[in-house]
Amino acid sequence: MITVLICVVMFIALIGMMVCSKKQKTNPNAQPIAMGLLIVVIVCGVAMLYRTGILGDVAAGRMATENQFTTSQGIILGEYLAANNPGKVLVIAEADFKTNSYTKTLIEGLKKGIGQGADVVVDTIEIPGAKKPKSQGPDDMPEMVMPLMDTMTAKDFDRTVGNYPNAKVIVSLVGLPRDKSRMKLWKKKNAPKIALLNAYGNLAGLVKAGLICAVTVSKPKADYESSYPGTPKAAFEMRYILVTTKNIEALKAKNKKLLSM
């Protein structure tokens, strides 16, 4: 019934536009009326696309494509860690990691890249005294929470890592504390390696020193328009760069600003 009503309104608006176009020479008010009817036609057209599911299918297809690109980032890093730093992996994420679809997609890709039977545990960093978001009803707007990168300290990071003494690699989805130079983790004997997903900031020195074993960063002039190319490797190369202790010198020679801002 609603679809029929939309079609009727759209048809009437089209007829009105045709009538107004003929009367524009004799009636100066015809042109603004025609513009108003054009807007009605456009709105009805969009509504029809939604009702028929066309726009919904397009949006769903685009979301699926973006998920494939996101997954590729986790897969490529996971493959690198499996080959160069095998062992138990601790993933540090924001507090909503159990419900955040983007975070879940990254972690799924990471597990896939590491391989079958991947020993991966996910946790967040608890900030003592920090205000926790209130439980939300179905109609409530979610409460804004400061990102961990802006609130956590070196002490907080060390405390969380200390809960997992068997972890060989720490993969942070939240970056590193602003006072990262104070992290005791750096000074521990046989300390776990640190890897970062989708990171930025002045990290080049830590990568060169081997304190950070791998970082994925957004590629300059990345291709965000093309469709998924078919493989995680090709998808990753369209949008990201894997920076490691092995290639950072060569990458810095081409882009001096890489992980230096």
Cα–chain-centroid distance for residue 102?
Answer: 5
Query: Tell me, what's the pLDDT at 55?
Result: 44
Structure confidence at residue 105 (pLDDT): 95
User: Domain coordinates of the chain in residue numbers?
Assistant: 2-52, 64-127+143-254
Is the pTM for the entire model greater than 0.85?
Answer: no
Report the alpha-carbon distance of residue 108 to residue 89 in Å, rounded: 13
* Residue owning tokens 């009636």: 27
CB atoms within 10 A of CB 193: 20
Maximum CA extent, the chain: 89
Separation of CA 23 from chain center: 53
What pLDDT was estimated at residue 199?
A: 85
Q: Residue 21 in contact with residue 41, Cβ under 8 Å?
A: no
Q: Which helix (H) or strand (E) holds 239?
A: helix 232-239
* Chain centre distance of CA 44: 33
Which superfamily does 64-127+143-254 belong to? Response regulator (3.40.50.2300)
* Residues of the chain where predicted confidence (pLDDT) is lower than 70: 1-11, 13-14, 16-38, 40-41, 43-62, 130-144, 261
Backbone angles phi, psi at 23, to 5 degrees: -100, 5
Mind listing the pLDDT tens digit for each residue in 23-71?
655 665 556 665 666 676 676 666 665 555 544 444 556 678 899 999 9
